[in-house]
């Protein structure tokens, strides 16, 4: 049994308290009955033999989950996947802990996650026998569809899914694919996205009511549930009753975002965590806040007319994604 006291990461938890007080308290709903209340967040400083750890303290609103070990593990996994992993990556942590409060007590069930050299985080075994370690051998990657695109070679399409539309949109889709092009080669990655987009039936997608498409172009296939892989993203919005916009000839070449190892300060990461719980709009909007677009501010609707670019997207998980028929979407692909 592990008990967390307010002395841990005092400055960070104070910052979190201020953030929570600045907006109405709100639970975070991650579907299937998994709703969470934010209690605290921060980090423990690194010491000899003990690397720094970022942590998140939450309570589940359904106390029955706490009595079901399998569901409790899934609750922790969803919270890590949706909120804590993104913060841990931005702070260059290699260890992270989700602490779920035991009902009616001031103690927590703790779940530790460790980042591997392959960028995949794994849940570790706990002291209790039911806190089993995540077995990487059980991971089954998403089936990919290999397609050949003229002048660019083979693309492996991992996902073509309908996602929850963010603020300002009615229907949205995400298409993720893998190519051999290095992520550093931003312009080539962008041209690959343009080539795939050019071959899609955009008229039909407009007829079907889609007004936002997000492409993710990766170099590495997804290797695990908690794979913190980076990709090059392009979000293509369409104005209401309008046509799809023409894409720029080139993308912003901001490779410093890829090369830089400057870690985000803990108080900024804590603010990010708090924002996930207090944000009043559709959570899918949070995935677009890091995109490079002019005149875009957090907490305001996305300007529908602007094409956006990014190198990572927070992995907030909501309802199970609705699969789209990629062959129907892209009948022009050879």
Residue closest to 71 by CA, chosen among 37, 30, 42: 30
Helix (H) or strand (E) holding 39: strand 35-44
Please report the pLDDT score of residue 7 as a whole number: 29
Helix (H) or strand (E) holding 192: helix 186-198
Is 122's pLDDT higher than 90? yes
Is 273's pLDDT higher than 70? yes
| CATH (domain of 131) | 3.30.300
Q: State how far the Cα of 228 lies from the Cα of 85, in Å rounded to an integer.
A: 8
Judge if 21 and 76 occupy the same domain: yes
User: In the listed set 79, 101, 135, which residue is the last one of a domain according to the structure?
Assistant: 135
Judge if 124 and 169 occupy the same domain: no
Confirm if 281 and 166 have CB atoms less than 8 A apart.
yes
Is 116's pLDDT higher than 70? yes
Judge if 272 and 319 occupy the same domain: yes
For residue 117, being part of any structural domain is answered with yes
Least confident of 30-39, 289-298, 304-313: 289-298
User: In the listed set 90, 107, 135, which residue is the last one of a domain according to the structure?
Assistant: 135
Rounded to 5 degrees, what angle do the CA atoms 77, 6, 13 make?
65
- Structural domain harbouring 22: 10-135
Is 186's pLDDT higher than 60? yes
Helix (H) or strand (E) holding 256: helix 256-259
Q: State how far the Cα of 59 lies from the Cα of 70, in Å rounded to an integer.
A: 16
Judge if 166 and 90 occupy the same domain: no
The overall average pLDDT reported for the chain is: 80
Please report the pLDDT score of residue 253 as a whole number: 73
Residue closest to 327 by CA, chosen among 209, 201, 192, 153: 201
For residue 48, being part of any structural domain is answered with yes
For residue 1, being part of any structural domain is answered with no
For residue 2, being part of any structural domain is answered with no
Judge if 264 and 321 occupy the same domain: yes
The β-bridge partners of 110 are 99
Please report the pLDDT score of residue 146 as a whole number: 93
Please report the pLDDT score of residue 294 as a whole number: 38
Q: State how far the Cα of 218 lies from the Cα of 313, in Å rounded to an integer.
A: 12
- Strand ranges of the sheet holding 35-44, from the earlier edge strand across to the other edge: 28-29, 35-44, 53-60, 95-101, 108-115, 121-123
Return the half-sphere exposure (C-beta side, CA atoms, 13 A cut-off) of residue 248.
14
Q: State how far the Cα of 23 lies from the Cα of 279, in Å rounded to an integer.
A: 8
Judge if 79 and 169 occupy the same domain: no
Q: State how far the Cα of 212 lies from the Cα of 202, in Å rounded to an integer.
A: 11
Residue closest to 90 by CA, chosen among 316, 291, 318, 314: 314
Judge if 119 and 27 occupy the same domain: yes
Query: How crowded is residue 284: how many other Cβ atoms within 10 Å of its Cβ?
Result: 19
Judge if 165 and 84 occupy the same domain: no
User: In the listed set 135, 158, 187, which residue is the last one of a domain according to the structure?
Assistant: 135
The C-alpha torsion from 44 through 259 and 316 to 271, rounded to 10°, is: 50
Least confident of 82-91, 241-250, 267-276, 298-307: 298-307
How does residue 239 score in pLDDT terms, banded at 50, 70 and 90? Answer: confident
Please report the pLDDT score of residue 98 as a whole number: 98
* Helix 10-21 vs helix 266-278: crossing angle, to nearest 10: 30
Q: State how far the Cα of 288 lies from the Cα of 298, in Å rounded to an integer.
A: 9
Q: 150 burial class (0-12, 13-18, 19+ CB within 10 angstroms)?
A: exposed
Judge if 126 and 188 occupy the same domain: no
**280's tokens:** 């009043």
Please report the pLDDT score of residue 259 as a whole number: 58
- Name the percent of the chain lying above pLDDT 90: 48
pTM: 0.80
For residue 334, being part of any structural domain is answered with no
Residue closest to 183 by CA, chosen among 238, 114, 232, 129: 232
Please report the pLDDT score of residue 330 as a whole number: 54
- How many domains are there within the chain? 2
Interval 282-308: pLDDT, tens: 666 666 555 554 333 444 444 545 787
Query: How crowded is residue 262: how many other Cβ atoms within 10 Å of its Cβ?
Result: 9
């Amino acid at each position: 049994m592990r008990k967390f006291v307010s002395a841990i990461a005092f400055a960070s938890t104070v910052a979190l308290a201020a953030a929570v007080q600045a907006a109405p308290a709100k639970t975070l709903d991650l579907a299937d009955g998994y709703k969470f209340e934010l209690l605290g967040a921060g980090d423990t400083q690194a010491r000899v033999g003990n690397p720094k750890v970022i942590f998140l303290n939450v309570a589940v609103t359904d106390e029955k989950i706490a009595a079901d070990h399998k569901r409790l593990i899934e609750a922790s996994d969803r919270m890590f996947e949706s909120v804590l992993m993104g913060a841990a990556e931005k702070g260059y942590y290699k260890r992270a802990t989700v602490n779920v409060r035991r009902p009616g007590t001031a103690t927590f069930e703790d779940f530790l996650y460790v980042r591997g050299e392959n960028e995949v985080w794994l849940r570790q075994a706990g002291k209790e026998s039911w806190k089993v370690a995540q077995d990487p051998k059980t991971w089954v990657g998403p089936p990919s569809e290999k397609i050949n695109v003229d002048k660019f070679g083979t693309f492996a399409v991992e996902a073509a899914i309908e996602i929850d539309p963010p603020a300002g949109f009615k229907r949205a889709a995400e298409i993720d694919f893998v190519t051999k092009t290095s992520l550093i080669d931003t312009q080539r990655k962008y041209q690959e996205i343009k080539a795939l987009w050019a071959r899609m039936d955009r008229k039909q997608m407009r007829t079907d009511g889609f007004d936002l498409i997000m492409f993710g172009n990766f170099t590495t296939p997804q290797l695990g549930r908690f794979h913190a892989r980076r990709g090059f993203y392009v979000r293509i919005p369409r104005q209401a009753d309008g046509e799809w916009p023409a894409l720029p000839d080139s993308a912003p070449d901001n490779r410093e975002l890829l090369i830089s190892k400057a870690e985000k300060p803990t108080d900024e990461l804590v603010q990010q965590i708090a924002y996930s719980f207090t944000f009043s709009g559709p959570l899918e909007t949070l995935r677009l806040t890091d995109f490079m677009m002019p005149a875009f501010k957090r907490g305001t609707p996305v300007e529908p007319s602007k094409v956006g670019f990014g190198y990572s997207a927070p992995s907030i998980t909501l309802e199970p994604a609705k699969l789209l028929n990629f062959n129907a979407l892209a009948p022009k692909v050879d």
